[in-house]
Amino acid sequence: MPSPSPALTLRRRGGSPSRDTSSTDELTLKQQQQQQKEQLKTSRTAADLIADHPAIKPVTIPASQGTPSSSSSSSTQEGHPTGESSRTTTRTPTATTSSPSIASRIIHILLKPFYFLLFALLHLGHELVISTRTMKTLVQVFFLPHLFPIAPELVRIVRKDVGTDLVKKPTHLAVITQKSGITLTGEVDETEEDEWHARVAQLAQWSSAVGIKTLSIMRSTPLYPEDLEALQDRVNHTMKDFYKEEKRVPIALVRTLRPVEESLSLVFQQNNSQATIQRDLRLHGGRTFDLDIVILSPEDGHDRLAGNVRHLGKAALRQQISSEQITTSFLDTQLSADLTEPELLIILKDDLDLSNYPPWHIRLTEIYHHPDQAVIPVYTMFLQALHRYAKCEQRFGK
Amino acid sequence: MRAVAIKALQCGSIPQHIGLIMDGNRRYGRKVHVGNGKGYYLGYETLEEILAVCMEMGVKVVTVYAFSIENFKRPADQVETLMELAKTKLAELCEHSELVRQYGIGIRVLGDTSLLPEDVRQVIRKAVDLTKKNNRAILNMCFPYTSREELTMATRSLVSGIEAHDLNPRQVSDISTSVLEQSLYTRSCPPMDILIRTSGEIRLSDFMLWQSSRACHVEFVDCFWPEFTFWKLLPILLRYQLRAISIAQSRREYSRGEVAEDDVNGDEGVLLNTDIGNARQTALEQDQEMSRRNSSESTLMTSETDKTAGVESPCGLTLEKKQRVISFLHHRGYIPNCPIVHLQ
């Protein structure tokens, strides 16, 4: 709904009966004065305009600074904010001296096309810089296949590429993908969905090779439950393929987040000694696994936190908890029950957009992104992100 | 030169809310061999400069990460320096600052101020009090702030409100994402458009996690905070302008999704559906409640808007239910140092 126009709010404020501090009485007077001046402005005579000229009347605020609010030249808007600035601690002697003079306004309107030209030039220059950077990336990518394969097919290749000198490796890797095959309206694009499944399987292969325990993937729309099984089959198949030279194929299990209602009971059941083992067992219904793949969607972000609040509220109504118990560690235990904190987040989108990834969990996450990611193979991004993570130093406030 | 560039930028869309993580003061101080303490002072000067630039451009809200709750772990003398800096600069800002006066900046201090020493708290109270009527722009100083603490505070206040007013479960189901958003410290602020972190670190360090997680342009800049000038901010603004349309579009999509969520959650729709509507409705109702109790915190309310609030609600609410909602919203409504204000 449109916000009330400034003039309307002025009038309302002027007519309010419940003001009882003395400063506000002065304010309403000032506003009524301002209002009258605004009404009169439309019928200004030439004499008024001359009287207002900066050469004749004293100016308290230099005309060049004018008003900060945009380039609109309507008189009500220009009169109004300066009226507001007079309400702060010091008062300007008269209300009219603080509005920009007619002359500067005319100059501003005449200069507008030049400003627009400069605006266009700035953007053009910026685009040129971006394009050169993309060209440079393209050239670097072109020479990559001599160093790294675009998509390694075997575990030992990944292990060799990662190397043994990584000081620290993440235990939870999060990836935000561009889109999935399902649009917001529910239409399914089979090839894109298939590509997305393939991408997930690839990431699963590489993460298991490096030793990452949890891989969470954010997609733009929720995954249908029937597709979850298809995805699991795909992942199993590709893992077998990837590890065909090894003795043992790691097990990777795919899941989505469980409903919020289950998390609260876990907070009460937790006792720290067995916490991780119990958690692992619980997550996949008792099956052991090496890699835990979690598929997230935008509704797991803000909406999940809001759902959490609703759930806690209902629990409070049932006298299960009281509001004083809600501390940061309480919420942390509850929210981390289903999803741990990722140490490294790779964004496979053109813009650095957190896309509603569960906000609670990315408190200290290293966020890796390259604006030219469309031309860089995902494997290269993966390796570079790991190396960048290994080099970073986290000070935790100190 | 700078003014010309700003006027040129104003031909495109200007962000309404910018967040800044001012990182790298100490390292810069060491780099130019003036020491850690002086590094903070240099950082403050840069903040003044960037704030002036933002105000000139027309940015409504600037949120800066001045001090994290984690920073209390630092050596005591550094914490002491920071507290002294905060005291002097806040006092200066509210009383003598030309910038605050000219642009009508309201100073807000976000965070759990009960962790601060009493003298700092007094200065903060005074600064917020003196500038609370300013509603053309807002400067949010996050001191001391942690985004998790903010979310915890919001959750706790909502749950305690539910307890206190003994809402029934169906009304609890109406608590949507926007209600939670209105309980955070940044509730009278528009959504965050740009988040900038200097000093080359690529993490958020518990700053504005909720506000930056959707439809926000996040930038990690590779220089230290005292080295951050308008000319480094310029390409960021250009990039934002390229993205502004898609940001606005994704915000629309999210709010459409929320309308659907509210329909699913509660048919009575006790609390309004859209973000904007909610912001205004809760702000209006809170102000109304406060003005009725003669509090000095509200800036605008009359009985007229009471009627318009009734008109704006989508479904016919009974008076009693509306009173329950208003008192519920008011119960969790009061955050010290963050008075509700209507930005122009």
pLDDT at residue B16 in the model:
94
Handedness of CA B272, B277, B283, B286 (dihedral sign): negative
Q: Percent of chain B beyond pLDDT 90? A: 33
| Interchain CB distance below 8 Å, B71 and A363 | no
Residue A279 is classified by DSSP as H
- CA-based nearest distance B48→chain A, Å: 16
How many angstroms separate the CA of residue A317 from the nearest CA in chain B? 6
Domain ranges across chain A: 4-93, 101-143, 152-390
**CB < 8 Å to B137, chain A:** 68
Residue A72: pLDDT over 50: no
pLDDT, one tens digit per residue, over B61-95 is 999 999 999 899 888 988 998 899 889 988 888 88
Residues facing residue B137 across a β-bridge: B105
HSE, side-chain direction, 13 A CA sphere, residue A286: 0
Beta bridge partners of A292: A214, A253
Assess contact for B103 and B71: CB atoms under 8 A. Answer: no
Query: Residue B206's pLDDT is what?
Result: 92
**Residue B335 pLDDT exceeds 80:** no
Interchain proximity A69–B72, CB inside 8 Å:
no
Which of the four pLDDT bands, split at 50, 70 and 90, describes residue A59?
Answer: very low
DSSP SS3 for B20: strand
Listed in sequence order, the residues at least 6 apart from A2 whose beta carbon sits closer than 8 Å to its beta carbon are none
In single-letter form, the type of residue at position B41 comes to Y
pLDDT above 50 (res B293)? no
Sign of the Cα torsion A352, B214, B194, A362 reads negative
- Phi and psi for B145 in degrees, rounded to 5? -135, 140
Predicted pLDDT at B257: 75
Instruction: Return the percentage of chain A with pLDDT > 90, whole number.
Output: 13
Q: Which tens digit of pLDDT belongs to each residue from A259-307?
A: 777 777 666 665 454 555 566 666 666 677 888 899 998 888 898 999 8
Strand partners, B145: B68
What pLDDT is stored for residue B286 in this prediction?
A: 47
More confident residue, B115 or B96: B115
Residues 241-260 of B with CB under 8 A from A: 241-243, 246, 253-254, 257
Distance CA A306, CA B262 (A): 12
**What DSSP string runs through A174-235?**
EEE-S--SB-TTS-B-HHHHHHHHHHHHHHHHHHHHHT-SEEEEE-SSPPPHHHHHHHHHHH
**Is residue B18 pLDDT above 90, yes or no?**
yes
User: Å from A259 to nearest chain B CA?
Assistant: 15
CB contact under 8 A, B202 and A367: yes
Q: Categorize the per-residue pLDDT at B146 as very low, low, confident or very high, splitting at 50, 70 and 90.
A: very high
- Give me the residue label for tokens 């006792």: A271
Give the model's pLDDT for residue B320.
Answer: 65
B226 pLDDT band, cuts 50/70/90, is: very high
pLDDT value at position A99?
A: 61
Please, are residues B249 and B224 in contact by the beta-carbon 8 Å criterion? no
pLDDT score of B288 more than 50? no
- pLDDT of A91 higher than 80: no
pLDDT computed for residue A188 by the predictor? 76
Give yes or no for residue A147 having a pLDDT over 80. Answer: no
Strand partners, B106: B138
CB contact under 8 A, B175 and A18: no
Contact A367 B204 (CB under 8 A): yes
Does B102 reach chain A within 8 Å, measured CB to CB? yes
> Exposed/middle/buried for B98, CB within 10 Å: 0-12, 13-18, 19+?
exposed
**A88–B101: do the CB atoms touch at under 8 Å?**
yes
What are the pLDDT digits (tens) for B187-202? Answer: 888 999 999 999 888 9
Which candidate from A126, A299, A323 shows the least CB-CB separation from B163? A323
Hey, are the CB atoms on A306 and B177 less than 8 Å from each other?
Answer: yes
Q: Tell me whether A85 touches chain B (CB under 8 Å).
A: yes
A298/B302 CB distance under 8 A: no
CA distance A191 to chain B (A): 24
Helices (H) and strands (E) in chain B, counts: 14, 6
In the predicted structure, residue A102 carries a pLDDT above the cut 50: yes
Q: Which range (A26-35, A53-62, A92-101, A196-205) has the least confidence? A: A53-62
Q: Is the ipTM of this complex over 0.95?
A: no
Mean confidence (pLDDT) of chain B: 79
pLDDT above 90: residue B60 = yes
Token pair for residue B84? 């002294």
> B5: which chain A residues are within 8 Å (Cβ-Cβ)?
118, 122
Q: What is the pLDDT of residues A362-390, one digit of tens each?
A: 999 999 999 888 888 888 888 889 888 88
CA distance A331 to chain B (A): 7
Structure tokens at A172: 């939870």
Q: Which residue of B has its CA nearest to A81?
A: B136
Q: Residues, chain B, total?
A: 344
DSSP assignments along B247-312, one per residue: HHHHHHHHHHHHHHHHHHH-SS--S-SSHHHHHHHHHHHHHHHHHHTT-S--S---HHHHHHHHHH
- Please answer whether residues B332 and B183 qualify as being in contact, where contact means their C-beta atoms are separated by less than 8 angstroms: yes
Q: Count of A–B CB contacts within 8 Å?
A: 249
| Average pLDDT value for residue range A56-78 | 40
Residues 208-237 of B with CB under 8 A from A: 209-210, 212-220, 234-235
Using a CB-CB cut-off of 8 Å, the residues of chain B touching A89 are 95, 101, 130
Closest CA to B159 of B178, B187, B183: B183
**Cα–Cα distance between A150 and A162 in angstroms, integer?**
14
Note whether A317 contacts B210, CB cutoff 8 Å.
no
Please check whether residue A275 touches B, CB under 8 A: no
Fold of A152-390: Undecaprenyl pyrophosphate synthetase (3.40.1180)
Which residues does chain A have within 8 Å of residue B292's beta carbon, measured at their own beta carbons?
Answer: 18
